[in-house]
Amino acid sequence: MMSFVVVAILVIILGFIAVRGIGVISWEFLTTAPKEGMTKGGIFPAILGTGCLVIGSMVFAFPVGILSGIYIHEYLMENWWKKFLRMMTNNLAGIPSIVFGLFGMALFVNYLKFGDSILAGSLTLGILTLPVVIRLTEEALKSVPDGLRLGSYALGASKIQTIQKVVLPVAFPNILTGLILSIGRVSGETAPILFTVAAYFLPRLPESISDQVMALPYHLYVLATSGTNMEETRPMAYGTALVLVSIVLIINLSASLLRRQIQKKTKMH
Amino acid sequence: MTKARRIYEKIVTGILFSSSTITSFTVILIVVFLFREGIGLFNSTPTEKNYVIAVSRQNTIPIITSNELADIFNQDITNWKQLGGSNDSIIRLTLNDLSGIFTEEELGPNLEYFPQKLNEYVKTTPGIILYLSKEYIPKNFAGRIIPVKKITLLDFTFGKHWYPTSAPIPQFGIWPMIVGTLMVTFGAILFALPFGMATAIFMSEIAGSRLRNIMKPVVELLAGIPSVVYGFFGLVVLVPLIQRLFGLDVGETVLAGSIVLGIMALPTMVTVAEDALHATPKSLREASLALGASELQTLVRVVIPYAKSGISTAVILGTGRAIGETMAVLMVTGNSTHVNYSFLQPTRTIPATIAAELGDTSFGGVHYNALFALAIVLFLFTIIINLSVEVIKNRNKGFNQPR
Amino acid sequence: MTHAEVNNVNVWYDTIHALKDVSLKFERNTVTALIGPSGCGKSTFLRLFNRMNDLIPSFRMNGTVMVNNQDVYSKEIRIDEIRKNVGMVFQKPNPFPKSIFENVAYGLRVNGINNKTIVEDTVERSLRQAALWDEVKDLLKKSALELSGGQQQRLCIARALAVEPKLILMDEPASSLDPISTARIEELIFELKKTYTIILVTHNLQQAGRISDLTAFFYLGELIEYNLTKKIFLNPDNTQTQNYITGRFG
Ligand SMILES: Nc1ncnc2c1ncn2[C@@H]1O[C@H](COP(=O)(O)OP(=O)(O)O)[C@@H](O)[C@H]1O
Ligand SMILES: [Mg+2]
C-alpha cells in the first residue's frame, strides 16, 4: 500500500501544477516577454534561454563524454588508470550541482573572465552532465556482445573500424536514449546557472554567447520567491512551472518510448 | 591498410584519449578552484580591507579574536578586564560615533582635522577601541593598531554565528548550517526510507510485470522533475499546510525541507534498492520456497539479507542526493542562520546558504571565500558518501565470490 | 604440403601455463579436429593462428607459429593481414546486426574494397560456398538477426570465406545448434575441405570421427597424441587418449 504513495505523489504534484497552470498558458504566454513587474506577459526569453543553455552544454558534453566513454570502455585494460578514471567519473557525478555552479563562477566567470554569459553557463552545465554522458556511453557499450567485436577482429578489421562499424551502430540507440534523458536533466537545473549566466530579468533577447539569458528554472525560482507582488505573480509562476515540467516530461517520455522501441526490436530476435 | 588510414586511426585514438583525460582533469580543477578560493578565508583577517582596529597604547592585550570583537561591538563585553586587560571600560569609536564626541568645527567640513583630533582623543582614553578606514589614521598615530586573529578551522566549523556581512567584524561560524543540513537530510531519509523500501519491495517481489511496467516510469518521472518545481510545490502547498497543521508563525521549517527532500530522494532509493532486490538469484528464492518457507519468510530471511548491501547503497545514495540538493531546500526551509535543533523551526542548509548569498559577494572578498570554504565542506560530505558506497561495493564483491 | 605449423609453443595467462611446448603441423586441404576436456587449451591453441590471443591482456607466449611459411608473430607482419588470411568461426554465431549482405561484405569493406560488382560477386560466391545462397538470395537486405541459429552460423562461415582465407579456424562451431543444423554444418565442412585447410575444435567425439582426417588430443595444456583420426579412435597409442575416447574421463 505504501508504495502507491509514490504514484500518488507524482499524480498530486503534476496534477496540481497542471490544474493551476493550464489557465495561464496561452500563445501570448509562450511567445512574449514578461511585463509590468512580471505580473503580465509571457516567458519567451526564459524558454529561449533554456534552449540556448541546453544546446550549449550539449555541444561540450556530448562529444567529450561519448569519446571518453568509448576510450574508457574499449581501450583501457583493467588497470590503475582505468580505476582512477572511473573513480573520478563517479566522484564528479556525486558532486552537488551548487558546487558546479561555484566552480563555474570561479573558473569561467571570474578567472577566465567570460563574465555571466551563455558560454560560462553552458560550460558549467556541460561539466555537470559530463559524468552522466560518460556513464551512459559505457553502459551502452557494455551491452554490445563481445562476440561481435571478436568476429570483426577475426575478419582483419582494426580496433577503430570495429568500433565505428560494429560497436557504435549497435550501441547507438541506447546512447541516444541516455543523451535524451540527460537533456531533460540539464533543462531543469538551477543551481549551476545561478551565478554563471541566469538573469533576473532581461528586456532583450541574447545576441551572442557572451550575453546573459533568462532561464526557465531560474525564472520559476524568481517568480516563486522574490516577487514584490506575490498575489499577481503566482499565476505566472504556475504557468512557468507547467511549461518547465512539460518540457522535461516530454523529453523523458520520448526517451522511454525510444527505449521501449529498442527493447521490442531486440526481443524479436 | 593504407598509410592515410593508419594516420587517421592514430589521430582518432589521440582524440579519444584526450577526452577521457579532460574528465579527470575537471575533477582536479574543481578541487583546485574550491580550495584556491576557499582557503583564503583562513589566510586573511576577517575585517574589511583598508580598515583597521586600534586601541590605546596603554592597552596590554596583544591580539584580539573576531568573536571578542563581535562581542565588544555588540556590547556583550564592556570592560577590558573581561578580556584579561586593565580595568577600563570599553569605549567604541567608529565613523558613526564621531558626532557624539567631536563637534563639526573640530573635524572640519571634510573631516580634514579628524586624524589630529583622533590622536588627542586616543591619548586621553585608555579604554578606547576604534574601527576606522586607514585614511583617518595619522602618521604619528598615538594609539596601537591591534592585529585581529585569523579565523581558525575550529571557529569556522563550530562557530555558532553566521553574520557574513556585519561590521566591523563579520562572523563565519557554520555550525548552524551543518546542523541544518544534517537535520534536513536525516529527516528526508527518515521520510523516504519506509516509502522507498516498501515501493522497492513491492516492485520487485509483489507486483506483476504489468504493474512494474507502470511503476518504473513513475519513479523515473519523479526523478526527472526539476528541483525548483519541487521547491515551488513545497512552497505553495506543503509550507502553508505545515503552518496550519502545527499552528506555526511560519511554515518554512526543517520539516518542510525534509519532506520535499525525502520525495526527491525517493527515486534514487527505489531504483537502487529495487535493482539490488531484483539481483537476488532465483535459485535462492526457490530453494527457500521449496523448504516450505512462505513468500514473506523468504523475503525477510533470504532476499533482504542477500540484498542488504545494495539496500545500504540505496540509502547512502539517497542521502547524497538529499545533502547536495539546493534550490528546493532553499525555497522551503526559511533561510534562518540561527542554530536550531527543532524540526518545526526554520533553518538553512549548506547548499542553500551558498545559493542565497553568493550573488551578493564581491569577488575575492572574505564572504566570497567563506562561501567557497562552505562548498569544500559540502564537497567533503559527498566524497565521504562516495567512498562509503565504494567500500560497501568492494566488501560485497569479496563476499559474493568466496573463491 | 604444410599449410600451418606450430613449433615449441608455450602460452601463459598470468601464471596459468595454458600450452606446454606444443608442436604440430597441418597439411593443406585437411580437416584436423582438436579434442580434449574443457580448459585443456584447445581454444588457446586455435587462436594462435590469427593472433586473437593478443586481445587478452595477460597473454604471453614463446615458440613460433607459421602460416604459409610466414612467421605469424614476426614484427614485420601486420596483424590485419594475418587475420585476413585466416578465417575464424566462433562457438556462438555472432552475425553483426546488419543486413545479410553487409555481413558477408564486411571483411571486404574493412579492407578497403568497395567496388560494387566485386562486392556483389564475392557475397554471392561466399554464400553459395556456405550453402546458404538458396535460402537467403531474396532476403539479402534483411537483418542477419532474423535468420535461425543454424543459418546464422553458416552466414558467419560465409562471412569468413568472403575475404578468401586459406586456413579456417572453427571453435566448436556446432555446439550451440540443433542436430539438423549441426548435420548441415558438418556437410559444409566436408565440402570446404576441397579448397581450404580447416582446424576444428569440438567437444563432440562422434563429430570429430565423422568429419576429420586427423585428430589431436590435448590434455592439461599438453599435446598428448596426434594422428590419423581412424587411428586415434580405433587404436590410440596413449592410454590417456584411450581413456578419453572411451569416456572414462573428461
Ligand atoms: N582470457 C583468459 N584469461 C586467463 N586465462 C584464460 C583465458 N582464456 C583461457 N584461459 C585459461 O587457459 C586455459 C585453457 O583455456 P582454453 O584454451 O579456453 O581451453 P579449452 O578451449 O580447451 O576449453 C584454461 O585453464 C583457462 O582457464
Ligand atoms: Mg574453448
Provide, as residue numbers in chain B, all residues whose Cβ is less than 8 Å from the Cβ of A190.
226-228, 326-327
Dist. CA C120–CA C125, nearest whole Å: 9
Dist. CA C6–CA B401, nearest whole Å: 38
Provide, as residue numbers in chain B, all residues whose Cβ is less than 8 Å from the Cβ of A245.
225-226, 229
Asked if C94 lies within 8 A of A151 by C-beta distance, the reply is yes
Q: Mutate one of A152, A155, A159, A170 to test the C interface: name it (highest C CB count within 10 A).
A: A155
Q: How much is the pLDDT for A227?
A: 65
Dist. CA A156–CA C153, nearest whole Å: 19
Instruction: Name the residue of C12, C15, C16 whose CB sits within 8 Å of the most ligand 1 atoms, as the mutation to test its pocket.
Output: C16
Q: What is the DSSP letter of B146?
A: P
Look at residue A245 and tell me if it is in a domain. yes
Residue that the C-alpha cell 586601541 belongs to: B55
Among A residues 122-151, those touching chain B with beta carbons less than 8 Å apart: 127, 130-131, 134
Which contiguous run of DSSP H or E holds residue C248?
none
**Least distant ligand from the CA of C216:** 1
Mean predicted confidence (pLDDT) in B356-375: 87
Residue type, C133: W
Q: How much is the pLDDT for A36?
A: 72
List the residue whose alpha carbon is closest to atom 1 of ligand 1: C56
Ligand 1 centroid from CA C122, angstroms: 35
List the residue whose alpha carbon is closest to atom 25 of ligand 1: C39
Q: For domain B51-149, give the CATH number.
A: 3.40.190.10
Dist. CA C23–CA B43, nearest whole Å: 73
Most confident of A123-132, B65-74, B154-163: A123-132
Cβ atoms of residues B68 and B77 within 8 Å? yes
Q: What are phi and psi of B161, to 5 degrees?
A: -120, 130
Residue C119: CB atoms within 10 Å: 18
Residue B287: CB atoms within 10 Å: 13
If 0-12 CB within 10 Å is exposed, 13-18 middle and 19+ buried, where does residue B296 land? exposed
Dist. CA B157–CA B155, nearest whole Å: 6
Q: How much is the pLDDT for A47?
A: 92
Look at residue A192 and tell me if it is in a domain. yes
Ligand 2 centroid from CA C36, angstroms: 10
Cβ atoms of residues C115 and C96 within 8 Å? no
Inter-chain Cβ pairs, chain B and chain C, closer than 8 A: 6
- The domain limits of chain B are 3-43, 51-149, 175-400
Most confident of A78-92, B52-66, B104-118, C1-15: C1-15
Query: Please, which residues have CB within 8 angstroms of residue B294's CB and are 6 or more apart in sequence?
Result: none
The CA-based angle C109-C111-C113, given to 5 degrees, is 55
**Least distant ligand from the CA of C57:** 1
Which contiguous run of DSSP H or E holds residue B356?
helix B350-357
Grid cell for residue A173:
540507440
| CB C13 near ligand 1, within 6 Å | yes
If 0-12 CB within 10 Å is exposed, 13-18 middle and 19+ buried, where does residue A70 land? buried
Closest CB from B15, B24, B33 relative to A85: B24
Q: How much is the pLDDT for C135?
A: 93
List the residue whose alpha carbon is closest to atom 16 of ligand 1: C41
Residue count of chain C:
250
Query: Please, which residues have CB within 8 angstroms of residue C247's CB and are 6 or more apart in sequence?
Result: none
Q: Is C80's Cβ below 8 Å from some Cβ in B?
A: yes
pLDDT in tens, B375-398: 999 999 998 988 888 888 777 665
β B171-172/A40-41 pair status: unpaired
Determine the atom of ligand 1 nearest the C-alpha atom of C38.
23
Residue that the C-alpha cell 562499424 belongs to: A165
Distance (Å) of CA A19 to CA A13, A22, A238, B241: 10, 6, 9, 19
CA distance C222 to chain A (A): 26
Look at residue A14 and tell me if it is in a domain. no
Q: Mutate one of A1, A6, A109 to test the B interface: name it (highest B CB count within 10 A).
A: A6
| CB C149 near ligand 1, within 6 Å | no
Residues A156-195 as b or e (16 or more Cβ within 10 Å = b): bbbbbbbbebbbbebbebbbbbbbbbbbbbbbbbbbbbbb
User: In chain A, how many domains are there?
Assistant: 1
CA distance A28 to chain B (A): 22
**Ranges of H-type helices in chain A:** 2-22, 27-31, 44-70, 80-94, 97-104, 118-142, 146-154, 159-162, 168-188, 191-194, 216-225, 230-268
Grid cell for residue A61:
558534453
Grid cell for residue B185:
537530510
Q: How much is the pLDDT for B1?
A: 55
Q: Is A187's Cβ below 8 Å from some Cβ in B?
A: yes
**Residue (of A6, A10, A9, A11) closest to B198 by Cα position:** A6
Ligand 2 centroid from CA C105, angstroms: 27
Asked if A156 lies within 8 A of C83 by C-beta distance, the reply is yes
Rounded to two decimals, the ipTM of the complex is 0.91
Dist. CA C135–CA C127, nearest whole Å: 10
Partners of chain A (3+ Cβ pairs below 8 A): B, C
Determine the atom of ligand 1 nearest the C-alpha atom of C47.
17
β C31-35/C197-201 pair status: parallel
Instruction: Name the residue of C44, C171, C172 whose CB sits within 8 Å of the most ligand 1 atoms, as the mutation to test its pocket.
Output: C44
Question: pLDDT tens digits, chain A, 269 residues: what are they?
Answer: 667 788 888 899 999 999 998 988 888 888 888 877 777 788 889 999 999 999 999 999 999 999 999 999 999 887 888 888 888 888 888 899 999 999 999 999 989 999 899 999 999 999 999 999 999 999 999 999 999 999 999 999 999 999 999 999 999 999 999 999 999 999 999 999 998 888 878 777 888 888 888 999 999 998 888 766 777 788 889 999 999 999 999 999 898 888 888 877 765 44
Q: Can you list the domains of chain C with their CATH numbers?
A: 2-245 (3.40.50.300)
Say if residue B63's pLDDT is above 50: yes
| CB C38 near ligand 1, within 6 Å | yes
Dist. CA B287–CA B298, nearest whole Å: 9
Provide, as residue numbers in chain B, all residues whose Cβ is less than 8 Å from the Cβ of A257.
none
Nearest-Cα residue of chain A relative to residue C83: A156
CA distance A37 to chain C (A): 58
Predicted confidence band of residue B403 (pLDDT cuts 50, 70, 90): very low
Dist. CA B375–CA C135, nearest whole Å: 67
Closest CB from A70, A217, A245 relative to B16: A70
| CB C173 near ligand 1, within 6 Å | no
Dist. CA A198–CA A216, nearest whole Å: 9
Asked if B23 lies within 8 A of A89 by C-beta distance, the reply is yes
Residue that the C-alpha cell 534552449 belongs to: A51
Predicted confidence band of residue B402 (pLDDT cuts 50, 70, 90): very low
**Residue (of A202, A39, A184, A218) closest to B330 by Cα position:** A218
Q: Is B125's Cβ below 8 Å from some Cβ in A?
A: no
Q: What are phi and psi of B380, to 5 degrees?
A: -60, -40
Asked if A150 lies within 8 A of C90 by C-beta distance, the reply is yes
Look at residue A17 and tell me if it is in a domain. no
| CB C43 near ligand 1, within 6 Å | yes
Question: pLDDT tens digits, chain C, 250 residues: what are they?
Answer: 789 999 999 999 999 999 999 999 999 999 999 999 999 999 999 999 999 999 898 999 999 999 999 999 998 888 888 898 999 999 999 999 999 999 999 999 998 899 999 999 999 999 999 999 999 999 999 999 999 999 999 999 999 999 999 999 999 999 888 999 999 899 999 989 999 999 999 988 999 999 999 999 999 999 999 999 999 999 999 999 999 988 866 5
Cβ atoms of residues A125 and A192 within 8 Å? yes
Say if residue B311's pLDDT is above 50: yes
Grid cell for residue B318:
539517497
Closest CB from A96, A102, A244 relative to B226: A244
Instruction: Name the residue of C9, C11, C12, C13 whose CB sits within 8 Å of the most ligand 1 atoms, as the mutation to test its pocket.
Output: C13
Ligand 1 centroid from CA C220, angstroms: 10
Packed helices A118-142 and A44-70: angle between N→C axes, nearest 10 degrees = 40
pLDDT in tens, C51-104: 999 989 899 999 999 999 999 999 888 888 889 899 999 999 999 999 999 999
pLDDT in tens, B200-211: 888 888 877 888
Instruction: Name the residue of C38, C40, C60, C220 whose CB sits within 8 Å of the most ligand 1 atoms, as the mutation to test its pocket.
Output: C40
Nearest-Cα residue of chain A relative to residue C158: A155
Q: What is the DSSP letter of C114?
A: -
C-alpha B57 chain-centroid distance: 42
Dist. CA A57–CA B120, nearest whole Å: 63
Say if residue B365's pLDDT is above 90: no
Predicted confidence band of residue B37 (pLDDT cuts 50, 70, 90): confident
Cβ atoms of residues A24 and A238 within 8 Å? yes
Dist. CA B53–CA A4, nearest whole Å: 63
Q: Which CATH superfamily is domain B175-400 in?
A: MetI-like (1.10.3720.10)
Strand ranges (E), chain C: 2-13, 16-27, 31-35, 59-67, 70-71, 86-89, 167-171, 197-201, 214-219, 222-228
| CB C202 near ligand 1, within 6 Å | no
| CB C239 near ligand 1, within 6 Å | no
Q: How much is the pLDDT for C177?
A: 87
Predicted confidence band of residue B157 (pLDDT cuts 50, 70, 90): confident
Q: What is the CATH number for A116?
A: 1.10.3720.10
